[in-house]
Amino acid sequence: MMDRWTTRINSGNLEIDIEREIVATAGEIIARTSFGINDDNARKICEKLRALQMALFKTTRYVGVPYIKFIDIKKTLEAMKLGKEIDKLLLYFIESRKESKIIRKGREDLLDLLLHENQVDGKYGKRLSTKELVDECKTFFFAGHETTALAISWTLMLLAMNEDWQNQLRDEIREVVGDKEVDINVLAGLKK
């Protein structure tokens, strides 16, 4: 995310849609850490999930209105199409992981755990159907990226409003990290 922002600023584009960037980054992080999906595919899934979420949001304004899905058929069809595209992408990753013979000991992610728990006698599909696995992945994406993005957005807004905290955090980062590259081991030393 920071590299994208730096590139945009250096190219003369000084406006950045922070919300879009944070939502995309949160989705990419969840895609990578929970499902082992790389950046391009993660971004694609997140964009489609966001579009589906917006399409569903527009139709939920009419909750309780009878036959609304038939009245606003365009939005209903758009949501159905996006849902099928997302299902197809997630199904591809689930099937790829099932067929993969790579043992990921110590690096298991949520998808590994779902698939492992779904095995009975070494065969897949006994506890959850593939459709149910896809639905679990979608649910995790929806719940995970939105809450993470909101938390990051609020944190940035509060930091923007409190210069004293910005300075305290910068000082702590300089003290703990110094000139080194930030990695997971260094983060544990950051208390604030």
What are 43's two structure tokens?
């971004």
Instruction: Compute the distance between CA of residue 121 and CA of residue 99 in angstroms, rounded to an integer.
Output: 16
Residues linked to residue 123 through DSSP beta bridges, in sequence order: 120
> With contact defined as beta carbons under 8 Å apart, do 32 and 76 qualify?
no
Instruction: Compute the distance between CA of residue 82 and CA of residue 50 in angstroms, rounded to an integer.
Output: 10
Instruction: Give the rounded distance of the alpha carbon of 91 from its chain centre.
Output: 17
CB-neighbour burial class of residue 61 (10 A; exposed 0-12, middle 13-18, buried 19+): exposed
| Residue at token pair 């199409």 | 81
What pLDDT was estimated at residue 162? 95
| Residue at token pair 């067929």 | 99
CATH class of 1-161: mainly alpha
Q: Give every residue of the chain whose pLDDT is below 50, as ranges.
A: none
CA atoms within 13 A on the CB side of 171: 6
**What does the domain layout of the chain look like in residue ranges?**
1-161, 163-191
Question: What stretch of H or E contains 185?
Answer: helix 184-187
Instruction: Compute the distance between CA of residue 36 and CA of residue 101 in angstroms, rounded to an integer.
Output: 15
| Distances 134 to 21, 39, 95, 166 between C-alpha atoms, Å | 25, 19, 10, 41
Per-residue pLDDT tens over the stretch 85-98: 888 888 888 888 87
What pLDDT was estimated at residue 171? 93
Per-residue pLDDT tens over the stretch 21-45: 888 888 888 888 788 777 677 777 7
Instruction: Please give the share of the chain, as a percent, with pLDDT higher than 90.
Output: 8
Q: Provide the whole-model pTM.
A: 0.65
> With contact defined as beta carbons under 8 Å apart, do 1 and 21 qualify?
yes
